[in-house]
Amino acid sequence: MADDRQKDDITGVETTGHEWDGIRELNNPLPRWWLYILYASCAFALLYWVLYPSWPGVSDHSKGVLGWTRHATLDAEITAAKAKQSAYVEKIAALPMAEVANDPELLTFANAGGRSAFGLNCAQCHGSGAAGGKGYPNLNDDDWVWGGTLDAIEATIRYGIRSAHPETRQNDMPAFGVDEILTAEQINDVAEHVLALSQSATDPAAAERGAPLFAEQCAACHGERGEGNTELGAPKLSDALWLYGGDKADVVASIAAARRGVMPAWIGRLDDATIKQLALYIHSLGGGE
Ligand code: HEC
Ligand code: HEC
């Protein structure tokens, strides 16, 4: 082979001795830039093997002197996020709710926390969008049974309604039919009167007969004109929003048997900061006072 090496006449460069149909290959050196990139790549690869986990073994892999792992990175990120969260949560626990509500950053955090706690603890009764259902109040509107201020909402959540907690919100409407306080006829008349308060009565004569019964038996809780009383948890009867339905049969059933809906107390089950976040979230749904 060495014998075949010749100098190319035109360029003066030595040939490799390979020749195809009279075309000879010149033995030019590799370009410098190309070589440097090759060396740099080799150096980088070596350094990488040393610093980072790289070589697979039988049951494990080389760890690399930096000790870097994806798990460690994730753990660090989670720890940092938790630290940030707990700073928010501590602030929310320490501050009065009105102040939290005035701090846009805290409020955003509280609303997000409230929404997720709502999904876990409340949605099964109040619906995932808090729109409620028969017997379970809609928390999006401004029709409040027990009040829609931040403090009222918080108290409702904390102690519940007719719950087992000693400080529960409690007011039992008499079961006018079951306990024979009113006759069936009287219940019919007072039901017509209740419907007349929201302009949905069908029997004006009965509604008129029901008026004195209402003043006597019902106004103490529901108000003279059925405007309701959030102190007593007595729903407004003069609007078209009904907790237990607004058909004549529903209203008669409410009066005859009383509903006495139960909402559990959350104190002891949820911590303070979570209860506050829930109150802020519900208050923000649109109907907060
Ligand atoms: C087991 C069913 C149930 C669960 C779970 C439940 N609630 Fe209730 N909630 C009710 C009922 C029933 C009422 C209405 C009681 C009444 O006044 O007749 C109510 C009423 C309320 C009210 C008062 C509404 C008003 O108009 O004054 C608020 C606020 C409320 N719930 C928030 C929550 C929050 C927040 C949670 C979750 C932490 C929750 N509820 C979980 C059944 C439930
Ligand atoms: C001691 C207070 C009290 C008295 C008196 C009272 N109520 Fe009620 N009423 C309530 C409470 C509290 C509720 C809330 C529902 C529940 O029990 O869960 C209610 C609910 C109702 C509802 C259902 C409202 C809805 O949105 O579905 C109707 C209707 C009603 N009352 C009618 C009457 C009538 C009519 C009388 C008189 C004959 C009367 N109430 C007397 C406290 C009272």
pLDDT recorded at residue 13: 87
Q: Give per-residue pLDDT as tens, 27-49.
A: 888 899 999 999 999 999 999 99
Nearest Cα neighbor of 256 from 145, 171, 179 is 179
* Pocket lining: 260 vs ligand 2, CB cutoff 6 Å: yes
Whole-angstrom CA distances from 136 to 20, 157, 185, 215, 259 are: 92, 14, 29, 27, 11
Question: Is residue 1 over pLDDT 50?
Answer: no
* Pocket lining: 160 vs ligand 1, CB cutoff 6 Å: no
pLDDT recorded at residue 152: 95
CA–CA dist 276, 90 (Å, integer): 12
Q: Give per-residue pLDDT as tens, 4-25.
A: 678 888 888 888 888 889 888 8
DSSP for 141-159, written as a single string: SS--SS--SHHHHHHHHHH
Length of the chain: 289
Q: Whose CA is nearest to atom 37 of ligand 2?
A: 218
The 3-state DSSP class for residue 76 equals: helix
CATH class name, domain 184-257: mainly alpha
Question: Which atom of ligand 1 is closest in space to residue 279's alpha carbon?
Answer: 35
Q: Do residues 221 and 234 touch, judged by C-beta distance below 8 A? A: yes
Q: Do residues 104 and 284 touch, judged by C-beta distance below 8 A? A: no
3 pLDDT tier (thresholds 50, 70, 90): low
Nearest Cα neighbor of 191 from 210, 172, 212 is 210
Beta bridge partners of 7: 14
Q: Whose CA is nearest to atom 16 of ligand 1?
A: 261
In angstroms, what is the span from residue 271 Cα to ligand 1's centroid? 17
Residue owning tokens 């017509």: 192
- Identify the CATH number of the domain defined by range 85-160+272-284: 1.10.760.10
Question: Is residue 146 over pLDDT 70?
Answer: yes
Average pLDDT estimate for 230-234: 95
Fold agreement (85-160+272-284, 184-257): yes
Question: Is residue 115 over pLDDT 70?
Answer: yes
Break the chain into its structural domains and give their ranges: 85-160+272-284, 184-257
Q: Give per-residue pLDDT as tens, 251-260.
A: 999 999 999 9
Burial of 2 (0-12, 13-18, 19+ CB in 10 A): exposed
Whole-angstrom CA distances from 96 to 108, 132, 276 are: 16, 28, 9
* Pocket lining: 157 vs ligand 1, CB cutoff 6 Å: yes
Question: Is residue 217 over pLDDT 50?
Answer: yes
Question: Which atom of ligand 1 is closest in space to residue 270's alpha carbon?
Answer: 38
Q: Do residues 110 and 276 touch, judged by C-beta distance below 8 A? A: yes
Q: What is the mean pLDDT of the chain?
A: 93
Give the distance, in angstroms, between the CA of residue 248 and the centroid of all CA atoms in the same chain: 37
Does the predicted TM-score (pTM) go above 0.85? no
Q: For 2, what's the count of Cα atoms within 13 Å in the CB-facing half-sphere?
A: 0
Tell which one of 229, 263, 278 to mutate to probe ligand 1, the residue whose CB is within 8 A of the most ligand atoms: 263
143 token code pair: 């029709």
Average pLDDT estimate for 81-88: 92
194 token code pair: 């209740």
CA–CA dist 224, 234 (Å, integer): 12
| Percent of the chain with pLDDT strictly greater than 90 | 78
Flag the least confident range among 43-47, 52-56, 166-170, 193-197. 52-56
Flag the least confident range among 33-37, 54-58, 136-140. 54-58
Average pLDDT estimate for 88-116: 94
Q: Give per-residue pLDDT as tens, 276-289.
A: 999 999 999 977 77
pLDDT recorded at residue 105: 94
